[in-house]
Amino acid sequence: MKFLKLSIFLLSVILVKCEKFRFDNYTLYKIFPESEIQVKLLENLQNDIRFDFWTDPVPSAEFVLVMSSPADTNELVTFLETNNMKSEITMSNVQEHIDKQTVKQYTRSNVRSMTWDAYYTLDDIYAWLDDLVTAYPDIVTEIIGGGSYEGREIKGIKISHGSGKRIIFVEGGIHSREWISPSSVCYIISELLTSEDPETMVAARDYDWYIFPVTNPDGYIWTHESVRLSDKDSKNRRPFGSEFGVDLNRNWNNNWLVAGASANPATDTYAGPGPFSEPETRSLSNYISSIGDQIDLYLSFHSFSQMLLVPYGNTTEHLDNYYDVVNIGRRAMGALSVRYQTQYVTGNIAETIYHATGGSVDWVKGHLRVPLVYCYELRDRGAFGFLLPTYQILPNNEETMDSVLEIIHQAKRFGYMNSSAGLTGSIVMMFGLMLAYFL
């Protein structure tokens, strides 16, 4: 997930005039590398700050998405032609697709006015969470998972129908230009509180849900108010000289800076000056640690590529309970595909997408030993990428909720997520099977 380098002058104009930067006539190319040499050439081009790589040039990539400004398009085309690379234009004017991403205002004190045909600002999401606490005082509690560099709260809610239950933890919006992520998380909240589907109601009642729609609030505001797509869009807003931001999903203390991360503040995958150097990751990790021994399922939401990823990002080895986790995930993706025939790929991060370390899911799995940990890369596979149209929000969210319920269902079948911890649940299941055999 790569980002476009804007000049210091341009950023200063945006900040002074409070105007949104426009991407008129910016072009998104889909490039089809056909050899290791072409992949390597694209890797070298990725170091050119003028081009925004929406996907990474890795050997397994079917295609690579690259956005170019009008001023640099001829040079990109020349590069492609010189190196005999096949390509096609996916978006001829990126701004047209940005304009189609409707941002709606939430109507206060009417929790059902949060709908799934538009995106929402941070203020509106937080206002909705506040109203849910008021509307469901016996079930919903406000929780604060930490704070941001610019002093904003990482706000979430706890949904609980009684104390002493095991926890499902959900986080979204750590990469802030991935707007479909907070929308999906908000939809899960809505379903848990309003759905009359029996399976959803059971899931809501059987577990305590800790849910944070936006874990990078500063960055999310930046993409709404200043630059929808920039090299700052998915990082936080901490300054480093003339540069801004740390990739918060490279800043967690698990194999920090080992792979798929950078020590250069000018890059999009800058991992920060040290593990947990950022207030967002440091405070959120402390909060998660405080309840870590009660978490049975951890879900992190990103976009795009239609993948369900499991730890780890530093190795393709099948560690811990890999086979159980992947089997559960594949069944869940089967359930996801039923409604709209959307296809996902399931596997560990390194083998499925690329080597990348310092992410939240690896830390939760490796440090807290949570039995079931998944990272969603939501719709789509590159037709719209980060600019998923509003007409796809509801279908995306519906199928995602279908898969979350199936994860829970399959986790119970595999002996996880019973009334006790995953390990105890497995022992109970094995004891029952032995008893049935001898009887």
pLDDT at res. 212: 99
User: What span, in angstroms and rounded, lies between the C-alpha atoms of 148 and 158?
Assistant: 20
Task: Map residue 414 onto helix, strand or coil.
Answer: coil
pLDDT at res. 234: 87
User: What span, in angstroms and rounded, lies between the C-alpha atoms of 300 and 185?
Assistant: 9
Look at residues 68, 10, 18 and name the one whose alpha carbon lies nearest to residue 226.
18
Residue 136 · residue 389 · CB < 8 Å: no
Average pLDDT over residues 195-208: 98
Residue 219 Cα distances to 50, 103, 122, 286, 316, angstroms: 21, 17, 10, 21, 31
pLDDT digits (tens, 9 = 90+) for 242-263: 999 999 999 999 999 999 999 9
Percent of the chain with pLDDT over 90: 86
pLDDT at res. 48: 87
Residue 1 CA from chain centroid, whole number = 11
pLDDT at res. 418: 73
pLDDT digits (tens, 9 = 90+) for 132-175: 999 999 999 999 999 999 999 999 999 999 988 999 999 999 99
Which residues contact residue 352 at a Cβ distance below 8 angstroms, ignoring those fewer than 6 apart? 307, 309, 345, 346
Parts of the chain belonging to CATH 3.30.70.340? 8-99
* Catalytic choice (178, 377, 399, 406): 377
Number of neighbours of residue 17 by Cβ within 10 angstroms: 8
- 49: which 2 tokens? 């700050």
User: What span, in angstroms and rounded, lies between the C-alpha atoms of 356 and 352?
Assistant: 11
Residue 310 · residue 369 · CB < 8 Å: no
What confidence category does residue 232 fall into, taking pLDDT thresholds of 50, 70 and 90? low
Q: Which residue has the higher pLDDT, 378 or 13?
A: 378
pLDDT digits (tens, 9 = 90+) for 93-107: 999 999 999 999 999
pLDDT digits (tens, 9 = 90+) for 392-432: 999 999 999 999 999 999 999 999 987 444 444 334 333 33
HEC assignment per residue over 249-302: HHCCCCCCCCCCCECCCCCCCECCCCCCCCHHHHHHHHHHHHHHHHEEEEEEEE
Number of neighbours of residue 380 by Cβ within 10 angstroms: 18
CATH fold of 111-424, please?
A: Aminopeptidase (3.40.630)
φ/ψ of residue 212, rounded to 5: -125, 105
Residue 227 · residue 187 · CB < 8 Å: no
Residue 119 · residue 104 · CB < 8 Å: yes
Known catalytic residue: 377?
Answer: yes
pLDDT at res. 430: 36
pLDDT at res. 18: 56
pLDDT digits (tens, 9 = 90+) for 261-309: 999 998 889 999 999 999 999 999 999 999 999 999 999 999 999 999 9
pLDDT at res. 421: 40
Mean pLDDT of the chain: 91
Supply the angle between the helices 322-340 and 393-413 in degrees, to the nearest 10: 140
What confidence category does residue 233 fall into, taking pLDDT thresholds of 50, 70 and 90? low
pLDDT exceeds cutoff 70 at 438: no
Residue 285 · residue 275 · CB < 8 Å: no
User: What span, in angstroms and rounded, lies between the C-alpha atoms of 268 and 47?
Assistant: 10
User: What span, in angstroms and rounded, lies between the C-alpha atoms of 353 and 276?
Assistant: 24
pLDDT digits (tens, 9 = 90+) for 336-359: 999 999 999 999 999 999 999 999
Q: Which residue has the higher pLDDT, 426 or 323?
A: 323
pLDDT exceeds cutoff 70 at 78: yes
Comparing 11-25, 31-45, 301-315, which segment has the lowest mean pLDDT?
11-25
Domain at 8-99, CATH homologous superfamily? Metallocarboxypeptidase-like (3.30.70.340)
